[in-house]
Chains A and B, each alone.
Chain A
Amino acid sequence: GAGVSQSPSNKVTEKGKDVELRCDPISGHTALYWYRQSLGQGLEFLIYFQGNSAPDKSGLPSDRFSAERTGGSVSTLTIQRTQQEDSAVYLCASSLKDHGSSYNEQFFGPGTRLTVL
């Protein structure tokens, strides 16, 4: 079956512009995660969705970052007024079970490489 897909694969934007990054999880996966990978910070957790709810937004670096998930499927990560330090690869993952399970293998998408000029 299809894996996690993300779009766009690359995004170049100017400082101050808003961007939207999209994630299509594996069908039937109830949990969805966003991570960010940058040279200075490595791989960081951003936000977790269980269904359409985001019980944990603690990883979002600032209020310029927001995310939503609709229909228990597609998720969009929005960055407003982008800054150069937002440049990173944004990775989405999904898993079949939530944190109540002892086994939560997360399947990752190919990522979106965001470059803020």
Chain B
Amino acid sequence: SQQGEEDPQALSIQEGENATMNCSYKTSINNLQWYRQNSGRGLVHLILIRSNEREKHSGRLRVTLDTSKKSSSLLITASRAADTASYFCATTGAGSYQLTFGKGTKLSVIP
């Protein structure tokens, strides 16, 4: 079953703009991860944030986590056409192994 929701479901921006995607979840987590998927196939791991962390950066990516609100956001700065993909958040609970995915945000970056 789905852990939570991403919003927006779809996002279209111009190249160079920033893209922000949000994720909400329902139960307590051990960590939260963001994945990218191109063309409905393999998932690429982007970044992991642990439950005791509030913000993390990796290149053009910035992830925040608010455990009190059970929400996370992914910011992609200075977007490129190559960033066009679907983005999923996934959570794992304490002592758990399976990833529970949100429904994803489909990002389109227009050149």
Interface residues of A (CB under 8 A from B): 31, 33, 35, 37, 42-45, 48, 56, 59, 89, 91, 93, 98-100, 102-111, 113
Interface residues of B (CB under 8 A from A): 1-2, 30-31, 33, 35, 40-45, 48, 50, 88, 90, 92, 95-104
Query: Interface of chain A, helix or strand or loop or mixed?
Result: strand
Give 25 pairs: A residue, B residue, CB < 8 Å, sorted on A: A33-B97, A42-B2, A42-B101, A43-B90, A43-B99, A45-B98, A45-B99, A45-B100, A48-B97, A48-B98, A89-B41, A91-B42, A99-B95, A99-B96, A102-B30, A103-B31, A103-B48, A104-B31, A104-B92, A105-B33, A106-B45, A107-B45, A108-B42, A110-B41, A111-B42
Smallest CB-CB A-B distances: 6 pairs? A99-B97, A43-B101, A108-B43, A110-B42, A45-B98, A108-B42
Given contacts A102-B30, A102-B50, A103-B48, contact A43 B42 (CB under 8 A): no
Question: Nearest chain B CB to A23's CB is how many angstroms away?
Answer: 12
> Is there an interface contact between A31 and B97, defined as CB atoms closer than 8 Å?
yes
Question: Nearest chain B CB to A26's CB is how many angstroms away?
Answer: 12
Given contacts A104-B92, A109-B42, contact A56 B31 (CB under 8 A): no
